[in-house]
Amino acid sequence: MIDVGIVGGSGYGAIELIRLLTHHQYVNIKYIFSHSKIDEPIKETFPHLSHLTHQYEALNSEQIDCDVVFFATPSNISKGLAPSLIERNIKVIDLSGDFRLGDRSVYKQFYGESAAPQEQLEKANYSIAEWSNIEQNHTQLVANPGCFPTATLLAIHPLVDQQIINNDSIIIDAKTGVSGAGRSLAQHVHYSEMNENFSAYAIGKHKHKPEIEQYISKLANENIKVVFTPHLVPMTRGILSTIYVKLNQHVTNEGLHAIFTEYYDDKPFVRIRDLGNYPKTKEVYGSNFCDIGIYVDEESQSAIIVSVIDNLVKGASGQAIQNLNLMYGWNENTGLTQTPVYP
């Protein structure tokens, strides 16, 4: 049994961690931190947790005593706090973007702030859990991937790894539920204006674009750029990523399906759909699954991959717990066996 703390306790990432960790047999939630709600019972802000007795606390990095701290904070916070925790041998799993990008100038460009020091960035382990290089008992700092990158990279990884696509042809048309925008108020996510409304946003400028590019560039060992367009869907949870790539060789639908099936054969959270069957966001709602459907368009020699995740689970808190399990050598799905909530 380990003790954990959660920073950013009044956000959606934190309450999803709480929902999931409550069922994790090896984890005790010792601290929930929120500097704006110190000493308030968590049930005041979140009545759905009325059965819990936790109170928010102030984070004092020097005094807390636990094994792991999760940062479920906006960007630009963990980079200041994580190093002192790591020094005290407290492991850190960062759900924010602070440690995801290795290139400080790219961080500056997309996040608009100074990046963490280079040596900190180099200690961080960016971990899509299915393709992780977390070292059990050694990894101290995990950069938990973003929601769009998770849905997208699980779909692209086999294609790039197999070298069957033109790497300069990747177009990602991604769609997310509104919880991805977080709990902070804003006009465009005000109910009356977001409801019954569908839109594109941040075209060419989204923080997750360089994150995707960094991963596949490293995998392909060449500098790859992608076109990435995020959209906002009038629903709370779920991401669907539609990915278009040009094939550099003749591949059949059956052939591509076999590749994906083999790649994910031993990965419990990735479910490859049969040919002709495409996943829907609700089919993974509340769960850690990533479901993938594939289609080869022989006419244009391109492939279309459709992947779905719950942005708050596999796209954030669920994958963070999956990474925690890898860090401790526990069964990968410990605490993550929730069946999707359907309908």
In the numeric block, the tokens 């400028």 are attached to: 205
Return d(Cα 17, Cα 121) in angstroms, integer.
24
Q: Does 88 bind a second copy (CB under 8 A)?
A: no
Considering only CA atoms, give the Rg of the chain. 20
Nearest to 27 by CA among 337, 339, 333, 325: 325
Residues linked to residue 246 through DSSP beta bridges, in sequence order: 302
- Asked if residues 341 and 19 have their Cβ atoms less than 8 Å apart, the reply is no
Binding residues for a second copy restricted to 307-336, rule: CB under 8 A: none
177 φ/ψ angles, rounded to the nearest 5 degrees: -70, 165
290 is catalytic: no
Distance of closest approach, residue 61 Cβ to a second copy, in angstroms: 28
- Asked if residues 296 and 252 have their Cβ atoms less than 8 Å apart, the reply is yes
Q: Does 150 bind a second copy (CB under 8 A)?
A: no
Q: Does 277 bind a second copy (CB under 8 A)?
A: yes
Distance of closest approach, residue 48 Cβ to a second copy, in angstroms: 4
Return d(Cα 39, Cα 50) in angstroms, integer.
16
Return the residue of 114, 199, 248, 249 that touches a second copy, per CB under 8 A: 199
In the complex with a second copy, which residue's Cβ is closer, 118 or 252?
A: 252
In the numeric block, the tokens 């904070």 are attached to: 73
Nearest to 66 by CA among 85, 87, 90: 90
Binding residues for a second copy restricted to 50-79, rule: CB under 8 A: 50-51
In the complex with a second copy, which residue's Cβ is closer, 105 or 339?
A: 339
> What residue type is assigned to position 203 of the chain?
I
Q: Which x/- pattern, by CB under 8 A, does the window 222-261 give for a second copy?
A: ---x-x-x-x-xxxxxx-x-x-x-----------------
Q: Does 137 bind a second copy (CB under 8 A)?
A: no
Q: How many residues sit close enough to a second copy to count as binding (CB under 8 A)?
A: 83
Nearest to 316 by CA among 12, 7, 9, 10: 12
Distance of closest approach, residue 298 Cβ to a second copy, in angstroms: 9
Per annotation, catalytic residue among 64, 147, 245, 259: 147
Return d(Cα 212, Cα 207) in angstroms, integer.
9
Distance of closest approach, residue 125 Cβ to a second copy, in angstroms: 27
In the complex with a second copy, which residue's Cβ is closer, 163 or 195?
A: 195
Q: Does 181 bind a second copy (CB under 8 A)?
A: yes
Q: Does 201 bind a second copy (CB under 8 A)?
A: yes
The 3-state DSSP class for residue 278 equals: coil
Cα 264 to chain centroid distance, Å, stands at 18
Cis upstream peptide for 343 (omega within 30°): yes
> How many angstroms separate the most distant Cα atoms in the chain?
63
Q: Does 1 bind a second copy (CB under 8 A)?
A: no
In the complex with a second copy, which residue's Cβ is closer, 81 or 290?
A: 290
Binding residues for a second copy restricted to 11-40, rule: CB under 8 A: 12, 15, 18-19, 22-23
Distance of closest approach, residue 241 Cβ to a second copy, in angstroms: 10
Binding residues for a second copy restricted to 153-172, rule: CB under 8 A: 168, 171
